[in-house]
Amino acid sequence: MPLQRLSDVASDTSADPTRETTMPPDGDSALFQLERVGMEFGPHRVLRDITLTIRPGQTLAVIGESGCGKTVFLKLLIGLLRPSHGRVAFDGRVLVDLDDRELTRQRLRFGFLFQGAALFDSLSVFDNVALGLREQRRFTEAEIHDRVRQRLLEVGLPWSVASKKPAELSGGMKKRVGLARALAVDPEVMLYDEPTTGLDPIMSDVINELILQTRRRRPVTSVVVTHDMKTVFKVAERVVMLYPLSRLGPDEPQILYDGDPARLRDCDDVRVRQFVEGEARDRLTEMRLNNTP
């Protein structure tokens, strides 16, 4: 089956209603609901029995060691992966029960800042930011020009960068162009995959401020996957910490913490406190024991 243009999906209103499955919201409102979600790649299990709700307008940070399934979690939220077990619902609709056309339509409501910015090297900065707007075919070139200019200014980039190629930009500038591209279509949901990785402390804080600015300027639900605790304490309203399944017993929950960032350092679970403080002593002891003949 040939790939569809986003514009074709956005303009079509004839989705088959028999394909739609709804999932009742938990409490007053729920934008995302995960019910006992598991994810496996062959024999390798990444996520197990994840159940949680994300409310509209919330800024959630997902933290945890490398390999605990944070990026897989993001991809499940947007339907790029289908869970091996359980259900993921967005705005009351179970993603795996949507056909390709409707799933693509729902993805138009998302903005995604990729870990490496994921800019198209052959396109100028202007064309990278304009890409989603052009695919939707809802804007004239004059409107696209004005919107691209506005988004670049919002992320602190001068208009002079619009003609440059990604290879001419620093890492921080690429991240900001990626954010401008994600924001160009006015998404309802922003997903951030390690937004400050590879950046110096000052530029990392610039990105954190831009995440806060985005939340102030428009109603948006944000999910931020990060190792950077400065990002967590600055931007998050709620924190979920995942733990690698390889380090858990069969009956231990994979979510070690779900709550207020201010209470992370006082968590009863020593594994949470060690992650927050960057304390490697127990891990070094474990590594030595594992390497002992």
Residue 35 pLDDT > 50: yes
Residue 287, class by beta-carbon neighbours within 10 Å (0-12 exposed, 13-18 middle, 19+ buried)?
Answer: exposed
Residue 14 pLDDT > 80: no
Instruction: Give the angle 211-213-214 at the CA atoms, nearest 5°.
Output: 65
pLDDT confidence bin for 15, thresholds 50/70/90: very low
Distance from the Cα of residue 193 to its chain's centroid: 5
State mean pLDDT over 173-187. 91
> Between β-strands 32-41 and 44-54, what pairing exists: parallel, antiparallel or unpaired?
antiparallel
Residue whose entry in the numeric block shows the structure tokens 């304390």: 279
CB 196 within 8 A of CB 231: yes
pLDDT tens column, 270-291: 999 999 998 766 666 665 666 6
Residue 266 pLDDT > 60: yes
Query: Which stretches within the chain are classed as H helix?
Result: 6-11, 70-77, 100-107, 125-136, 141-154, 171-183, 201-217, 229-235, 270-277, 281-290
Handedness of CA 236, 181, 205, 212 (dihedral sign): negative
pLDDT tens column, 190-239: 999 999 888 899 989 989 998 998 888 888 999 999 999 999 999 999 99
pLDDT confidence bin for 13, thresholds 50/70/90: very low
What is the C-alpha separation between 263 and 208, in angstroms, rounded? 20
pLDDT tens column, 159-168: 999 999 999 9
Residue 24 pLDDT > 50: no
Give me the pLDDT at residue 218, please.
82
**CATH fold for domain 6-109+187-290:** Rossmann fold (3.40.50)
Q: Tell me what percent of the residues of the chain surpass a pLDDT of 70.
A: 86
Q: In this predicted structure, which of 23-32, 238-247, 263-272 has the lowest mean pLDDT?
A: 23-32
Residue 134 pLDDT > 60: yes
State mean pLDDT over 23-49. 83
CB half-sphere exposure, 250, CA atoms < 13 A: 0
What is the C-alpha separation between 256 and 272, in angstroms, rounded? 7
Q: Rg for the chain (alpha carbons), in Å?
A: 20
pLDDT confidence bin for 10, thresholds 50/70/90: very low
Candidates 22, 86, 32, 28; CA nearest to 54 is: 32
Give me the pLDDT at residue 287, please.
57
Give me the pLDDT at residue 240, please.
97
What is the C-alpha separation between 148 and 130, in angstroms, rounded? 6
Tokens of 118: 């994921």
Candidates 28, 29, 27, 45; CA nearest to 37 is: 45
Residue 26 pLDDT > 90: no
pLDDT tens column, 48-88: 999 999 999 999 999 999 889 999 999 999 999 999 999 99
Q: What are phi and psi of 32, to 5 degrees?
A: -120, 140
CB 206 within 8 A of CB 26: no
Residue 137 vs residue 133, higher pLDDT? 133
Domain-by-domain residue ranges, the chain?
A: 6-109+187-290
The amino acid occupying position 190 is M
C-alpha dist (Å) from residue 172 to 135, 178, 262: 26, 10, 28
Quote the pTM value.
0.82
User: How many Cβ atoms are within 10 Å of 114's Cβ, its own excluded?
Assistant: 18
Q: Is 235 helix (H, G, I), strand (E, B) or coil?
A: helix
> What mean pLDDT is reported for the chain?
86
Residue 16 pLDDT > 70: no
